[in-house]
Amino acid sequence: MKIYQVGETGRLHASVVDIDKAKADPSTIKINIETLNRTAVITDTAMTKDVAGEYYYDHVCGAAGEYRYNVVAVGAGGRVTIKKSRFIINAAA
């Protein structure tokens, strides 16, 4: 689990592959971030393409706490959640 500090920018990554495990680009790819008690921080926010099949979102870390995020991609096969993870933001020292 990644750990960031308040005020830091955390880069959250996601990879997309097709059925043959080759890097693929979906029609859309979005990220949702929420607190552990399910309070939305960001909803359906577009991610940035790095290279084919690789995407990221730069999250400016606000309040200290533990967060979870999920990435949803939409392509020819429909809507698929491709990644779920968590990260922690520590209070500034």
Residue 61 is part of a domain; what is its CATH number? 2.60.40.4070
CA distance 12 to 3: 11
Flag whether 93 is in a domain: no
Domain that includes residue 8, residue range: 2-85
**Alpha helix (H) ranges present in 20-91?**
none
What are the pLDDT digits (tens) for 28-86? 999 999 999 999 999 999 999 999 999 999 999 999 999 999 999 988 666 676 789 99
Give the per-residue pLDDT at 40: 97
Total domains in the chain come to 1
Q: What is the mean pLDDT of the segment spanning 2-14?
A: 95
Domain contains 92: no
Q: Identify whether 51 is part of a domain.
A: yes
Residue 91 placed within a domain = no
Give the pairing of strands 2-5 and 78-90: parallel
**According to the model, what pLDDT value does residue 20 have?**
83
Identify the band that residue 18 occupies on the pLDDT scale cut at 50, 70 and 90: confident
**Coil vs helix vs strand at 24:** coil
